[in-house]
Amino acid sequence: MYYVYILYSKKLDKRYIGFTKNLIERRKQHNQKETTFTKTGAPWQLIYYEVFRSKKDAMEEEKFLKSGKGRERISFLLKDTLQNIRIGSSTG
């Protein structure tokens, strides 16, 4: 299985979109500051993920979510989640 995921850093008020084969380990790497691009934003909270059987499909979805239309979809899909985590009332 392959995962496309979105992390959120309250510290930076930023989202990070990624792709991995091992979601648990990859999130750990982000939060242990083992990745150059995300180390300044730790801790990162997992706010969304999708599962794919095909690596190619997962890579295409990651690419789409990083596009303008993809970011629009994220904002629509996670409207309540993004609002709640920004004001600190997230339940999970």
The one-letter amino acid code at 21 reads: K
Per the CB < 8 A criterion, the answer to whether 4 and 48 are in contact is: no
54 located within any domain: yes
Q: How many domains does the chain have?
A: 1
Task: Output the six-digit token pair for 70.
Answer: 């993809």
Predicted local distance difference test score (pLDDT) of residue 84: 85
92 located within any domain: no
- Split at pLDDT 50, 70, 90, the class of 83 is confident
> Of 23, 6, 3, which Cα lies nearest the Cα of 15?
6
- How does DSSP classify residue 48? E
pLDDT in tens, 9-39: 989 989 999 999 999 999 999 999 888 888 8
Per-residue pLDDT at 3 exceeds 50: yes
Per-residue pLDDT at 40 exceeds 60: yes
Per the CB < 8 A criterion, the answer to whether 81 and 90 are in contact is: yes
Task: List the CATH number of the domain containing 20.
Answer: 3.40.1440
| Residue ranges making up the domain that contains 68 | 2-87
